[in-house]
Amino acid sequence: MEDLAPALAAAVIWAYASIAYRDFMVGLGVIRLNVLRMIYASLALLVPSLVLGITPAAAYGAVSGVLSLALGDSLYLRGIKAAGVSTALPAAYSYIVMEQFVAVPLGEPLKPAFLAAAGLVLIGVYLLAGRGGSGGGSGKAVGVAYSLAAAVAWSMGYAAIRVAGMHGLNPVSTAFTRVAAALPVLALASGGGVGGAVKATWRTPLPLIAVLDLGVGSALFAYSSVAVGLAPTVIATGAAPLAAQLFSRAMGRERPTLREYAAAIIVLLAVAISFQ
């Protein structure tokens, strides 16, 4: 369990960030919020990454940033906005099962357990998209669709983190190259107004949340994926859906239903089965 402590810490950080970002999303919008996240994290990680060193393997970190941060996180934040954290997070975390299929071209076998896990994910998504819960039916279905699209982008982007680490890029520099690569892509898509948004948010908790999320959380994930392995790391980070639901309820943001709790547990069960 001690070996998985970094991955579990990342899961808790990401779960809290999912809740905390929602307040900023209302006034900033998804893309602009994502740009600010990259700006604050890049500034915090720049000097440490230069001190620790940046190698050619940073190219893999850059690919991960574009896929998982620029594309995946934007889709995920839209999912949160449409359906709420309790619905969006479990659906998005189906990327852990998708990761098994992404790994096949890299030489890893596709086991029958993977197919069983995929079936469980479909059941979980059906529960999330069905009527009832903390959001409206149509809004929830849209949120699930966004979250599943985010899962596809994440599954490819997180695989690139593992590759970067295997080629010698340290976890902090991996985290930095991810946000540095995603920043210009998101800035172009933001349509301007970023300067004013920075002035309005730099004294708020947003910078700290972004650094915890994209700096500390990402570095912990990168470290664990190399030190412990990708399989146990993603299993541990799969605890984030339930953690987010607990955070959401404790903070009075949402009231997840038994159906949503059941869906989260089913997705986590699918994750566990996929690594048998």
Our count of domains for the chain comes to: 1
Structure tokens at 149: 């699209």
Query: How far from chain centre, in Å, is Cα 53?
Result: 25
Instruction: Give the model confidence (pLDDT) of 70-124 as tens digits.
Output: 999 889 878 888 888 778 877 887 888 888 788 777 766 777 887 788 788 878 8
Q: What is the dihedral of CA 155, 157, 160, 162, to 10 degrees?
A: -60
- Region 115-136: mean pLDDT is 70
Token pair belonging to 103: 């790994």
Quick: pLDDT tens for 190-199. Answer: 888 899 999 9
How many other β-carbons are positioned within 10 Å of the β-carbon of residue 163? 18
CA–CA separation, 130 and 140 (whole Å): 8
**Cα–Cα distance between 262 and 197 in angstroms, integer?**
38
Question: What is the torsion angle, in degrees rounded to the nearest 10, for the CA atoms of residue 245, residue 251, residue 256 and residue 258?
Answer: 80
Which residue range forms the structural domain that includes residue 225?
A: 2-274
Query: Which of 89-103, 144-158, 257-271 ranks highest by mean pLDDT?
Result: 144-158
